[in-house]
Amino acid sequence: MALMTGKEYVQSIRDMDIKIYMFGKRIEDPVTDDILRPSLNSVRMTYDLAQEPEYRSLMTAQSPFIGGTVNRFTHIHESTDDLIKKVKMQRLCGEKTGACFQRCVGMDAFNAVYSTTYEIDKKYGTSYQKNFLEFLKYSQEKDLTVDGAMTDPKGDRNLPPHKQKDPDMYLRVVERRPDGIVVRGAKAHQTGICNSHEVLVMPTIAMGPDDKDYAVAFAVPTDAENLFMIIGRQSCDTRKSEGAPIDTGNPTFGGVEALVIFDDVFVPNDRIFMNGETEFAGMLVERFAGYHRQSYGGCKVGVGDVLIGAAACAADCNGVCKASHIKDKLIEMIHLNETLYSSGIACSAEGTKTEAGNYIIDLLLANVCKQNVTRFPYEIARLAQDIAGGSVVTAPSEKDMEDPELGPYVKKYMAGAEGVSAEDRMKILRLIENLTLGTAAVGYLTESLHGAGSPQAQRIMIMRQGDLETKKSFAKNIAKIKGGKDGQE
């Protein structure tokens, strides 16, 4: 079996014994939990869309490893066309869910680990890529959702891993055995791990020789022994359990993050992809970050499409859709969103082949893409709130609207332009609230800022890859200054 249906995916998660805690209690049935289910639905969409003939070219690919069709979220990029289709697929998924659909991190981890393990093996004669390829084929054949886990808690960020007062602030190997390793630590901000079959763990920073125990990459099932997760709080998260779907803004889809604890988890030898090769930790981080920064030129754009549409609907509801200043704000939102998309496509089209054979994006342009993503969604969100008005945050609840005594007043005074009911207007207002202030704001705004590295991380890479010396030589040549790159004076 290479492609699961959405229904089969949900059942596969139900069949696992993933240890999830929220509000101080273990969630016995995460598949039906009111707060967690919308997040599961977002992942399900990646399976449902792959079944649709209309989207098959974007959502699926041909794997040379298993000789059949696979979901693109498990694919190793074989060309710049694959890289471009990845971005287009992510935009589509964002448009269909208005939320984070959670499989991007695993896909980006697949491609970063694939090329890095090849280069480790080349230097040391290890068998990491062989191990990884078996895991990849297993994931493709079963059509698994794999969470990519990179971010450690970090503790004192001024100190390297081996100098931390608490050595567990970075995930590490605490025991090496003939049959494998035992790891301890945590991974933070893990979007969608509670909806994943496997977790693919990577180091989070470049490391020196003294950090050998921290330079580790591996994969284990998400229901592995001694692995558990604690769901993070989100603004307005308990609205999902109040029985008032209008108040959630997006009653069907969503996303959740978790702090994932590895409390002495055993990893067998055939699931280890790096084990002490510190000089390759930075390579893996840089490649993963590049792929993931490319991803934001697709997924955030798709969610942006939903927000722009919601703002336009709010203008219709308020009877101001023909006002010139409203049109100008919508134009600006579209301009910013398409600029993000352009960056995602550009870094994909300029991709190159790695030594391992898969394709990697242009790293400079990928970092430019993500730097834009740290800014533009915030302006898009501000403009959406501007267009929608104050009722985004002051509208009464759905239960007030349904109350026999209060309802008539709510319906009367929350109604919009002629022909627009209070219910429809409130649905749009709540969707804008959800995307810019509520649970979806985590995936659209905070994730835009900090996901795939903070804004400063991209600026460091832009300076590193911007090749200032070559640019200086261009200027010197034209200005007739000695020292130009081609020797002209």
- Dump pLDDT digits (tens) for 194-253: 999 999 999 999 999 999 999 999 999 999 999 999 999 999 999 999 999 999 999 999
Please give the order of strands across the beta sheet that includes 216-221.
146-149, 198-201, 216-221, 272-275
The pLDDT tens digits for 48-64 are 999 999 999 999 999 99
Tokens of 76: 């190793």
The single residue of 299, 313, 317, 347 carrying the catalytic annotation is 299
Q: What is the pLDDT of residue 488?
A: 46
257 catalytic per annotation? yes
The pLDDT tens digits for 417-426 are 999 999 999 9
What percent of the chain is predicted at pLDDT more than 90? Answer: 97
Residues 259 and 306 in one domain: no
75 catalytic per annotation? no
Residues 254 and 292 in one domain: no
Residues 397 and 438 in one domain: yes
Work out the number of other CB atoms within 10 angstroms of the CB of residue 475: 10
Q: What is the pLDDT of residue 486?
A: 54
With cut-offs at 50, 70 and 90, classify the pLDDT of residue 485: low
Q: What are phi and psi of 272, to 5 degrees?
A: -100, 130
Whether 105 is covered by a domain: the verdict is: yes
The pLDDT tens digits for 311-358 are 999 999 999 999 999 999 999 999 999 999 999 999 999 999 999 999
Task: Fill in the amino acid letter for 129.
Answer: Q
Q: What is the pLDDT of residue 487?
A: 46
Residues 296 and 243 in one domain: no
The single residue of 191, 222, 248, 374 carrying the catalytic annotation is 191
Q: Evaluate if residue 120 carries a pLDDT over 50.
A: yes
Task: Fill in the amino acid letter for 407.
Answer: G
Tokens of 240: 């999902």
The single residue of 9, 47, 93, 104 carrying the catalytic annotation is 104
Q: Evaluate if residue 265 carries a pLDDT over 90.
A: yes
As a dihedral over the C-alpha atoms of residue 127, residue 129, residue 132, residue 137, rounded to 10 degrees, the angle is -110
Work out the end-to-end distance of the chain between its first and last CA atoms, rounded to an integer number of angstroms. 65
The single residue of 119, 198, 257, 286 carrying the catalytic annotation is 257
Residues 243 and 326 in one domain: no
**pLDDT, mean of residues 131-145:** 98
Residues 355 and 426 in one domain: yes
Whether 18 is covered by a domain: the verdict is: yes
Q: Evaluate if residue 30 carries a pLDDT over 70.
A: yes
Whether 26 is covered by a domain: the verdict is: yes
Q: Among 82, 93, 87, which Cα is nearest to 50's?
A: 93
Residues 311 and 203 in one domain: no
Provide the domain count of the chain: 2
Residues 6+ apart with CB under 8 A from 118: 129, 354, 355, 356, 357
The single residue of 93, 100, 347, 369 carrying the catalytic annotation is 100
CB 207, CB 214: distance < 8 Å: yes
Q: What is the pLDDT of residue 482?
A: 85
In angstroms, rounded to a whole number, what is the distance separating the alpha carbons of residues 441 and 448?
9
Residue with tokens 């499409």: 305
The pLDDT tens digits for 394-406 are 999 999 999 999 9
The single residue of 114, 296, 359, 444 carrying the catalytic annotation is 296
What Cα–Cα distance (Å) separates residue 119 from each residue in 107, 187, 214, 280, 365? 19, 25, 19, 8, 24
Residues 271 and 158 in one domain: yes
What percent of the chain is predicted at pLDDT more than 70? Answer: 99
Whether 357 is covered by a domain: the verdict is: yes
**pLDDT, mean of residues 15-20:** 98
Residues 51 and 117 in one domain: yes
Here the CATH number for the domain that contains residue 189 is: 2.40.110.10
Q: Evaluate if residue 145 carries a pLDDT over 90.
A: yes
The pLDDT tens digits for 279-296 are 999 999 999 999 999 999
Look up the domain containing 132 and give its range.
Answer: 7-279
292 catalytic per annotation? yes
Residues 262 and 398 in one domain: no
Here the CATH number for the domain that contains residue 353 is: 1.20.140.10
In angstroms, rounded to a whole number, what is the distance separating the alpha carbons of residues 89 and 85?
6
Q: Among 269, 284, 162, which Cα is nearest to 211's?
A: 162
The average confidence (pLDDT) of the chain is 96
Last residue of a domain, one of 250, 279, 308: 279
Residues 6+ apart with CB under 8 A from 454: none
CB 217, CB 183: distance < 8 Å: no
The single residue of 75, 77, 189, 292 carrying the catalytic annotation is 292
The pLDDT tens digits for 366-392 are 999 999 999 999 999 999 999 999 999
Whether 262 is covered by a domain: the verdict is: yes
Q: What is the pLDDT of residue 374?
A: 97
Residues 331 and 358 in one domain: yes
Whether 296 is covered by a domain: the verdict is: yes
Q: What is the pLDDT of residue 489?
A: 42
Whether 474 is covered by a domain: the verdict is: no
The pLDDT tens digits for 406-460 are 999 999 999 999 999 999 999 999 999 999 999 888 999 999 999 989 899 999 9
In angstroms, rounded to a whole number, what is the distance separating the alpha carbons of residues 23 and 335?
41
266 burial type by CB count under 10 A (0-12 exposed, 13-18 middle, 19+ buried): middle
Q: What are phi and psi of 414, to 5 degrees?
A: -95, 0
The single residue of 277, 286, 398, 447 carrying the catalytic annotation is 447
Residues 397 and 347 in one domain: yes
Whether 479 is covered by a domain: the verdict is: no
299 catalytic per annotation? yes
Last residue of a domain, one of 231, 256, 279: 279
**pLDDT, mean of residues 258-265:** 98
CB 313, CB 392: distance < 8 Å: no
Widest distance between CA atoms in the chain = 86
H helices, E strands: number in the chain: 19, 14
Q: What are phi and psi of 34, to 5 degrees?
A: -60, -35
